[in-house]
Amino acid sequence: MYLKLSVKNTESDFVKKIEEISGENLMKCNQCGKCSAGCPSVSRMESLPNQVIRRVQLGDESVLEDDTIWLCASCFTCAVRCPKGVDLSKVMEALRLLTLRKNVNYTQIEKIPRDELEVLPPIALVSNFRKMTS
């Protein structure tokens, strides 16, 4: 028995929204894994970067609950390494934007210990809040 998966079945509203926000054609990704192999943040991620893009290709909205989208450093290593020219960092940013549009903040300011706030560089805090809060 063969598993038949047509591209039309995977073209959900979720996929279209991510493609619209990111400007990337998700179906170009052939899961070679070069993005994951070069990712400097992969050791802390729940899912490998290529797994994230596959879940998005399949319309799996639970990817929005994955910490991986927040741990992406947007260093563009994945985009440089991709033989198909897919910029995964743009896809990760699109996923973060969709989450933030639902007023779900990844960083909760009130939960950061005061002693850490005193030693963290202010620019790091500002950058974090701009990226991870709505």
pLDDT tens readout for residues 31-43: 999 999 999 999 9
DSSP 47: S
User: 92: how many CB neighbours lie within 10 A of its CB?
Assistant: 24
Both 76 and 34 in one domain: the answer is: yes
Amino acid residing at 26: L
Would residue 45 count as lying in a domain?
yes
SS3 for 65-128 is: HCCHHHHCCCCCHHHHHCCCCCCHHHHHHHHHHHHHHCCCCCCCHHHCCHHHHHHCCHHHHHHH
Would residue 55 count as lying in a domain?
yes
Both 63 and 115 in one domain: the answer is: no
Tell me: the pLDDT tens digits for 107-124?
A: 777 888 888 888 888 887
Q: Does pLDDT of 86 surpass 60?
A: yes
Note down the domain range covering 86.
Answer: 30-102
Is residue 41 within 8 A of residue 74, CB to CB? The reply is no
DSSP 46: S
Is residue 63 within 8 A of residue 72, CB to CB? The reply is no
Both 97 and 111 in one domain: the answer is: no
CA nearest to 52, candidates 101, 24, 80, 8 = 24
Would residue 14 count as lying in a domain?
no
Both 95 and 112 in one domain: the answer is: no
Both 83 and 123 in one domain: the answer is: no
Both 89 and 46 in one domain: the answer is: yes
Both 83 and 125 in one domain: the answer is: no
Counting the structural domains of the chain, the total is: 2
Per the model's pLDDT, the better-predicted residue between 130 and 64 turns out to be 64
Both 54 and 37 in one domain: the answer is: yes
Q: Look up the pTM and report it.
A: 0.77
Would residue 116 count as lying in a domain?
yes
Please tell me the predicted confidence (pLDDT) of residue 10: 44
Both 127 and 72 in one domain: the answer is: no
